[in-house]
Structure 1
Amino acid sequence: MKKHLLAGLLAAIFASGAQAFDPFTIKDIRVEGIQRTEAGTVFSYLPVKVGDTMTNEKASQVIKSLFATGFFKDVRVEVEGDVLVLALEERPAIYTIDFVGLKEFDKDQLKKALKDNGIAEGRIFDRATLEKAEQELKRQYLSRGKYGVAITTTITPLERNRVNINFNIEEGQAASIKQINIVGNTAFKEKDLLDLFQLRTPNWISWYTKSDQYSRQKLAADLETLRSYYLNRGYLEFNIESTQVSISPDKKDIYITVSIVEGERYSVSSIKLAGDLLLPEAELRKAVKVKPGEVFSREKLNESTKEISERLGAQGYAFANVNAAPEIDKDNRQVAFTIFVDPGKRVYVRRINVVGNTKTRDEVIRQEMRQIEGGWYDADKVTASKQRIDKTNYFGEVNVETPPVHGTTDQVDVNVSVTEKNTGNISLGAGFSQSEGVILSGSVSQANLFGSGKFASLSLNTGKINRVASFSYTNPYF
């Protein structure tokens, strides 16, 4: 019997038009070499089936398709008469994952992070994926200031085509911030600016706050705090030119240098309102917090545009755009603002959706809603609805969202998402009295009886002189 071997390298031969075998009709497909993978799984990835005409081009497609699954380390296509034979060598499976020297992280938490990166017990082992997981593991340590961490990975082959992965970790000491410098400040003292930062040099409480451990996220937050500090005090052109973070050769000390340009201090010369105001200008001006003659403050300007948006939202204009455009007079160090108002279309509520209430009935939540279906959207009523649902004390968390209805420009849905909490209470007590002997007492109460929003309680006292049995029922909506 003549057998033709078509290895993965023949793809180049196929591309050049060379013939490795004559085309034939496939009468059967046989799979060899698999231990864990089902034959049906292999067949589902094949671009050919019994009855198809097998050609060199299709053989190349078979090889590529099976390699693309990631299940196999080697794929060979062989022909025995009219039978297509697939000789496969599976990649090993991960049997166990072990850690040595792990102290900084919880083992289960770390395994979950590795699983998210494609490395988990029972999965197919892939060295490229393992290298990515190692980098992610190292990144986690760097985020904790462990810049001297060393990770050595050992792969141990086991029987039945399995492997054990062992991470040997030398965590080392966390690097601490040795020095933080701010360069370019003249209006404020460096000490006062550094007091705004979360990141600090070591102090007596650093062991608890970890404020001396560098974090890119913390530094970004500190820089934004610094920017806001200047912009809220009139420095309209403030800019952070550069930020340099360096580490000592022994990877124990970190030095941070922030270079800034303060610019000039500006005052507000005028505030104008423009666009389709809808509401009386005098009413909208009450929402403007920044006044002519005052030092510019980004915080007050943002509060002004936000409050104007909220006032329009209370009238049904849920998608109003309110933006402030500056006109800078550098010679006089003044800035004039024009607040442009675009209310958009008036919006009404199509539907109120309630999710997350597995025990509490829908009507208990809906009767707390101040916003009604089919009515004009009112931001104040939506906020009041959320507050009222919170006050029932039936839920640990309440979220309200108002997404626009797809395909329309004047409708929104109100989506109420709740997380229920336990509302029942049981108490037991025991005592002794010379006159009454042993006294037992107990009570059971449920603030959300059968999810109806009604309160019920039962209490008993077994004293000989004062024997009490009481039942109470409250309907708060009666």
Structure 2
Amino acid sequence: MKSIAQRFRLRSVTSLVTLALASQMAWAVDPFTVRDIRIEGLQRVEPGTVFASLPVRVGETYNDEKGAAAIRSLFGLGLFTDVRLDVQGDVLVVNVQERPTVAAVDFAGNKEFSNDILQGVLRDAGLSSGRPYDRALIDRIEQELKRQYINKSLYGAEVVTTVTPMERNQVRLTFNITEGRAARINDIEILGNHAFSEKQLKGLFELDSGGWLSWYTKSDQYSRTKLNADLEALRSFYLARGYLDFKIDSTQVAMSPDKESISVTVNVTEGDRFVVTGVSLEGNYLDKDDEFKSLITIKPGEAYNADQVAETTKAFTEYFGNYGYAFAQVEALPQVDRSTNRVAMVIKSDPGRRAYVRRINVQGNARTRDEVIRREFRQYESSWYDADRIRLSRDRVDRLGYFTELSVTSAEVPGAPDQVDLNIEVKEKPTGNISIGAGYSSAEKLSFTFGLAQENVFGSGNRLDLQLNTGKFNRTVVVSTTDPYFTANGVSRTVDLYYKTQKPYQDQGGNYTLVTMGAGLKFGVPVTEIDTVYLGMNAERTRIKPGTNIPASYLAYANRFGYTSTSFPFTLGWSRDSRDSALAPTDGRYQRLLGELGLVGDARYVKANYQYQQYIPLGKLYTLAFNAEAGWGKGLGGRPFPVFKNFYSGGLGSVRGYEQSTLGPRDVTGAFIGGTRKFTLNTEFITPFPGAGNDRTLRLFGFVDVGALYGDGEKITGDALRYSTGIGFSWISPLGPLRFAFAVPLRKRPGDRIQRFQFQIGTSF
């Protein structure tokens, strides 16, 4: 018994024969005037669709030519498997047989892709419920589904379509998928290399033959795109070391018969190593030759370096752009002497005509208002083109965090060679989110979090936050709203409402608590593109809630000044951020200075905290990071520094290897009460995680920490310093930045509480 698919193919062949026979029949009818047209065989297709396709109408003359044209037109609709014209007197009868329509589409056996993703493939190919069944289309879809699986290294994937007839000339399609196992790279071999070892060259590749972490990195799953990127990295490696004639002769990818194992062989020709003898300039340099020469990174006497050449030409182009020459042509021409293996570099430049920006066009922002994007631009319309300002503008828009994709391109204005338009193309992302979760840390134990954030309220660029955090020692409720352009020149305004409860990390089983509630108003004034000054004022009320084993210092403060203190501290701060990333920085610097001054209310004090971070890239893989922090506080008006404003040290964020907040002074009860002066220095050497390639979301680091905490009036000596060293790793997980550290204290004193293994979500250093 023939399958349903075979029957449909047979019908298609029959239709072609019918078309030919019907055409012959149409030529055998004498012309006549059509009195009526009748259509038979329709089930779902509207009669109007058929009538609109007929080249003849009631009252017109029917002839052989119109009959043949009618059959071709109806078949061209793709809705019918058979079309026949009959003539009954002066009535034209159109007999049709409709194609089956797709009633439903199912998938079976798919694990790598969800049904929604596969349905998207079908929609892109033009197949959905209600569409006519087309075997040719089904064949193309099967091949597209296989291609999707090949992109996932599932080369053995098979797709078989089952067609099940249903009532009213409908069918159900079921795509039966056998995924098989992902093909793994068994071996990568590089042939023809002499100057560098195969191990060194294979270390440049993202692809490898697998390791203990391959389940995470997928580095042993073959991908043509990844291989091309690796080959380009190999080519760049040689060109950066003087091998000007290096070439990749061939690349063979061999697959095992079971399609689960792949071997990659790369054949290369290294060529000779060339040395640069000199660099000269040709062309127009705007009478600024010395300034352009200072941008040259190509070094005569050293090996030819393609990276330096590209860096130089890019610097020249950008420098021309700073003077308004948007379409400057810069070309590096090597003059090669192969008899001596030397090369002289000639950089030829043509700045073209100076241009100014006619119009700035913003596209793709369905939600975000144009003004939210335009106010970040430092390149203005009707001003000279300035490449430096355009780059700065792009970075400022990108830092908004509202877009997944952002591009700024320049386009010539037809008929105006001295004008350009800037086109800003953005792709928006959802900027509102609700997060509910739980976390666990070695200090806080189990904590629950709830967050409601909208970074771009109604597309205005304003931010609204609601944060709730519960923990064993710290509980917080914060409501905050920020208007980044409270004034037209970029002064921001933040309003905060907060309620916090805090216990010292070591309370020896007591249940005393510090309860702080308040509100704050803060303004941020941009001084430069990376500097911001903050001014604000808070209204706070702090209550020492007594309990068992309350530290003597807390009790003494409460007995003297009361268990409740009201203050109105002024805040003054400054920050400068030039890091290349906030989550996983590898270069740049971050500084922050925060000051707090309480002159009004029960608590009279001054408090300052300064933080300095520096990231130094050591090549493409390694980073040296420093973090220094200093805090200082003092009571005013003859009053001591409020104990509930003390600094704490020890644990993650300060000196690892010691229990959280256990360094520094203790009172007579043995409780850790913090101090008024704090110093911390952290040094980290950050490397790729073994087996993870150069994945910046997963990094290994070694560290050395130094820190000390001093009480009010305590003499600053080296005895209070604590040191530790250890290793750890950081992972930017779906829950947030996660850091683990194993530390060994290098200096211990009696009473120190050691905790070698520590971890927390959302910390740095």
What's the TM-score bracket when you normalise by the shorter of the two chains? Answer: 0.7 to 0.9
Listed one character per residue, the Cα deviations across residues 217-241 of structure 1 (whole Å, up to 9, x for unaligned) are: 1111111111111111111111111
* d(CA) in 2 for partners of 1:395, 1:129: 36
Listed one character per residue, the Cα deviations across residues 350-390 of structure 1 (whole Å, up to 9, x for unaligned) are: 11233455666544543433212111111111122233445
- Alignment of structure 1 residues 67-466 onto 2, 5 Å: 67-355=75-363, 362-390=370-398, 399-417=407-425, 419=428, 421=431, 422=454, 423-427=463-467, 443=479, 445-447=481-483, 455=493, 457=495, 459=497
* d(CA) in 2 for partners of 1:389, 1:317: 23
User: Counterpart in 2 of 1:3?
Assistant: none
Listed one character per residue, the Cα deviations across residues 2-55 of structure 1 (whole Å, up to 9, x for unaligned) are: xxxx951048759xxx94222334444433222222222333444444455433
User: Counterpart in 1 of 2:604?
Assistant: none
* d(CA) in 1 for partners of 2:160, 2:365: 48
* d(CA) in 2 for partners of 1:261, 1:385: 44
Is 1:8 paired with 2:19?
Answer: yes
Listed one character per residue, the Cα deviations across residues 277-321 of structure 1 (whole Å, up to 9, x for unaligned) are: 324222222222213222111111111111111111111111112
CA drift of 1:471 comes to 7.8
Structure 1 regions of 5+ residues with no counterpart? Answer: 1-5, 431-439
Change (3 A) 1:147 1:441: closer
CA drift of 1:194 comes to 0.9
CA drift of 1:177 comes to 1.3
User: Counterpart in 2 of 1:436?
Assistant: none
Percent of pairs with identical residues = 47
Instruction: Determine helix, strand or coil for the equivalent of 1:241.
Output: strand
* d(CA) in 1 for partners of 2:90, 2:202: 79
CA drift of 1:192 comes to 0.8
- Alignment of structure 1 residues 43-62 onto 2, 5 Å: 43-62=51-70
Amino acid in the other structure paired with 1:400: V
Change (3 A) 1:165 1:298: same
Provide TM-score, normalisation by structure 2: 0.55
* d(CA) in 2 for partners of 1:467, 1:286: 57
Instruction: Determine helix, strand or coil for the equivalent of 2:412.
Output: coil
* d(CA) in 1 for partners of 2:192, 2:356: 52
Change (3 A) 1:387 1:183: closer
Change (3 A) 1:45 1:232: farther
Listed one character per residue, the Cα deviations across residues 193-229 of structure 1 (whole Å, up to 9, x for unaligned) are: 1111111112211222221111111111111111111
* d(CA) in 1 for partners of 2:367, 2:223: 43
CA drift of 1:182 comes to 0.8
* d(CA) in 2 for partners of 1:11, 1:162: 26
Contact 2:23–2:67 (CA<8 Å) still a contact in 1? no
Change (3 A) 1:25 1:310: farther
User: Counterpart in 1 of 2:7?
Assistant: none
- The farther-off stretch of 107-116 and 248-257 is 248-257
Change (3 A) 1:28 1:270: farther
CA drift of 1:449 comes to 8.8
Contact 1:359–1:450 (CA<8 Å) still a contact in 2? no
Provide TM-score, normalisation by structure 1: 0.85
Listed one character per residue, the Cα deviations across residues 386-420 of structure 1 (whole Å, up to 9, x for unaligned) are: 33445566767654332333454332222334547
Largest Rg, 1 or 2: 2
1:42 to 50, 55, 69: 50
* d(CA) in 2 for partners of 1:108, 1:50: 49
- The farther-off stretch of 449-458 and 394-403 is 449-458
How many equivalent pairs are there? 461
Amino acid in the other structure paired with 2:318: E
Is 1:66 paired with 2:74?
Answer: yes
Amino acid in the other structure paired with 1:445: T
Contact 1:316–1:379 (CA<8 Å) still a contact in 2? yes
* d(CA) in 2 for partners of 1:451, 1:135: 57
Instruction: Determine helix, strand or coil for the equivalent of 1:322.
Output: strand
* d(CA) in 2 for partners of 1:354, 1:159: 52
Change (3 A) 1:382 1:13: same
CA drift of 1:323 comes to 1.5
Contact 2:22–2:85 (CA<8 Å) still a contact in 1? no
User: Counterpart in 2 of 1:434?
Assistant: none
CA drift of 1:271 comes to 2.2
Instruction: Determine helix, strand or coil for the equivalent of 2:420.
Output: strand
Listed one character per residue, the Cα deviations across residues 451-471 of structure 1 (whole Å, up to 9, x for unaligned) are: 99864637488xxxx998868
Amino acid in the other structure paired with 1:457: V
Amino acid in the other structure paired with 2:464: G
Instruction: Determine helix, strand or coil for the equivalent of 1:119.
Output: coil
* d(CA) in 1 for partners of 2:202, 2:469: 56
Change (3 A) 1:126 1:19: closer
Contact 2:280–2:345 (CA<8 Å) still a contact in 1? yes
* d(CA) in 1 for partners of 2:317, 2:62: 68
Contact 1:394–1:448 (CA<8 Å) still a contact in 2? no
* d(CA) in 1 for partners of 2:54, 2:214: 60
Listed one character per residue, the Cα deviations across residues 142-171 of structure 1 (whole Å, up to 9, x for unaligned) are: 222222223222111111111111122222
The structure showing larger relative contact order (alpha-carbon pairs under 8 Å, at least 6 residues apart) is: 1
* d(CA) in 1 for partners of 2:200, 2:71: 67
Amino acid in the other structure paired with 1:8: L
Contact 2:22–2:84 (CA<8 Å) still a contact in 1? no
* d(CA) in 1 for partners of 2:106, 2:487: 47
* d(CA) in 2 for partners of 1:288, 1:44: 71
Amino acid in the other structure paired with 2:481: S
Change (3 A) 1:387 1:32: same
* d(CA) in 2 for partners of 1:343, 1:473: 47
Listed one character per residue, the Cα deviations across residues 38-75 of structure 1 (whole Å, up to 9, x for unaligned) are: 22233344444445543322322222222222222122
Contact 1:361–1:451 (CA<8 Å) still a contact in 2? no
Which is strand-richer, 1 or 2? Answer: 2
